[in-house]
Structure 1
Amino acid sequence: MNGPQAVTKDERRAIGHNIADRLKQVYGDKIKAIGLYGSMARGTDGPYSDIEMLCVLRTEDGEEPIDFSHEWAAGAWKAEVNVYSEEELLKYAKTVEDSWPLSHGAFLTALPLYDPDGFFDDLIAAVQSPDEADFRESIHGILVGEMFEFAGKWRNANAQGPRTYLPYLAMETAQYAAMLIGLHHRTTYSTGAKVIPEAMTLPDRPEGFDALAQLVLSGELSDPDRVFLTCEAFWNGLQAWAEERDYGFTTEQIPF
């Protein structure tokens, strides 16, 4: 086998059900719920798509939280089963992180294969439970931890090299900017392949984002001057956007 091979949707779903049956054999009465996530859950899987599944386990009082994955390639296809204790998955679903618009979107579209207690409805409610303060904290984290740092890196690369680093920085900046926009709107994205295009459809975007996104999506990143100036224009627009929405991310002194 030379890597992933074409598998039909019906074949992939049959494999998913076989994996679910095996999980029931392995974990028995501890099984709370089993479901598909990702492209299979959305019905958008292609001939070479992975099989991605959630397996949720019941735990007794005093037992350690469970969070691990079975991940393997079986010749023609690859599968990943994320195994969580019920409490651990719900706790994670309630958190807001940098990648929330992508990571938590998978929980909203999960497709149950076994769910006698309606766990996946509880999972959706958990994803929808964070308040504005949680989202603002993550937005602040991206502005300081990623965007400010990226600006320093592309300015260093432009000033002293290597300028070959600029295309990578532009791609990373566009990706995190899309996450920022998703967090601002509390909106999830359908798949990693569409994060930037879907961000471009949302309202209230920082000025300069669209030009940066279009540059990255076009793949025309060989002109370092153009890449640098596009990143700088986005940075200027981002600062104004953040200030207008009270997402301040700089201080006048050491904050501790």
Structure 2
Amino acid sequence: MIGPRAVTREERMKIAYIIANQLLVKYGTDVEAIGIYGSLARKTDGPFSDIEIKCILKSLEDGFSYEWTSGDWKAEVNLDNKENIVEEATTVEEDWPLTNGQFTTILPIYNPKGFFQELKHKASSVDNIVFKEAICKTLVEEMYEYIGKLRNITIQGPETFLPTLAIKIATSGAMILGLHHKQHFTTAAQVLPEALVLSNRPPGFDKLCRLVMSGHLYDSKSILDTCENFWSGLLDWSKENGYIINYSRCVPF
């Protein structure tokens, strides 16, 4: 049967080094640095985890990826240039708490000029105002839209979308908390549990997270009430922490 097959960490690391050596053979002196990222770099990989590698090339214009499976395991190699990866590492979007941790936990395989240490420093030095702007943006572009969908369902359905919507609202709430604390989440599977141990959580957040994590998303009224309660608490929390939704009755352009 085609995999994934259980692979030990030692086997996975050996494969990663084989891939790195092939990259060095293929691209030679154009290679600036090669490093492992993801769960393998964090030493939290499981027996069925992917192998994820970043390769920085000096002359590359546009980044691209190789992604494949051997049948037993799966690997992904992202190739990029220094400018692009620095820009990515210092950009703060809604999913920053989940995606940006890769830049601070890269495990170098080939790093003769210390590029990955420099990258980690830059990724950790983003100004606070950038995080504030990302939170305000998420409140409007994600949460406001989700609550609109929630209220539409109360009028026209379909209630079958409520479980999915509850997950989206809880996850976006967790991202806002991660941005507020500049906290990275380990994996997508740990976003809600890790958000629940952060301080200064919006009222209603805990109840929504526990509802979602329980998997008991079959009571439409319970979902609607819990999400509305969280939205109300989130608005109060945002105001208290200086995250303001800018209202405008005029088209802003």
**TM-score band, normalised by shorter chain:** over 0.9
Please list every run of 5 or more consecutive structure 2 residues that lacks an aligned counterpart in the other structure. Answer: none
**Counterparts of 1:112 and 1:222, CA distance in 2:** 46
Residue identity in the other structure for 1:2: I
For these two proteins, the number of residue pairs brought into alignment is: 252
User: Could you say which residue in structure 2 is the equivalent of 1:147?
Assistant: 143
Deviation at 1:190, TM superposition (A): 1.5
Residue identity in the other structure for 1:84: D
User: Could you say which residue in structure 2 is the equivalent of 1:25?
Assistant: 25
Any idea what the Cα deviations from partners look like across 1:55-106, whole Å, max 9, x if unmatched? 11113xxxx6331111111101110011110111111111111111111111
Secondary structure, aligned partner of 1:104: helix
Deviation at 1:3, TM superposition (A): 3.2
User: Could you say which residue in structure 2 is the equivalent of 1:133?
Assistant: 129
User: Could you say which residue in structure 1 is the equivalent of 2:5?
Assistant: 5
**Counterparts of 1:187 and 1:229, CA distance in 2:** 28
Deviation at 1:2, TM superposition (A): 3.0
Correspondences of 1:91-110 after superposition (within 5 Å): 91-110=87-106
Deviation at 1:201, TM superposition (A): 0.8
Post-superposition, which runs of at least 4 consecutive aligned residues in structure 1 deviate over 3 A? none
**Counterparts of 2:63 and 2:207, CA distance in 1:** 40
User: Could you say which residue in structure 1 is the equivalent of 2:107?
Assistant: 111
Correspondences of 1:1-256 after superposition (within 5 Å): 1-59=1-59, 65-254=61-250, 255-256=252-253
Any idea what the Cα deviations from partners look like across 1:89-125, whole Å, max 9, x if unmatched? 1111111111111111111111111111111111111
**Counterparts of 1:202 and 1:68, CA distance in 2:** 36
Residue identity in the other structure for 1:226: S
**Counterparts of 2:127 and 2:230, CA distance in 1:** 28
**Counterparts of 1:73 and 1:116, CA distance in 2:** 29
RMSD (CA atoms): 1.1
**Counterparts of 1:157 and 1:220, CA distance in 2:** 19
Secondary structure, aligned partner of 2:83: helix
Deviation at 1:252, TM superposition (A): 4.4
**Counterparts of 1:23 and 1:120, CA distance in 2:** 17
TM-score by length of 2: 0.96
**Counterparts of 1:137 and 1:151, CA distance in 2:** 20
**Counterparts of 1:161 and 1:155, CA distance in 2:** 9
**Counterparts of 2:187 and 2:164, CA distance in 1:** 21
- Asked if 2 retains the 8 angstrom alpha-carbon contact of 1:65 and 1:87, the reply is no
- Asked if 2 retains the 8 angstrom alpha-carbon contact of 1:50 and 1:77, the reply is yes
Secondary structure, aligned partner of 1:204: coil
Any idea what the Cα deviations from partners look like across 1:150-176, whole Å, max 9, x if unmatched? 001011112211001110000011111
Residue identity in the other structure for 1:28: G
- Asked if 2 retains the 8 angstrom alpha-carbon contact of 1:69 and 1:82, the reply is yes
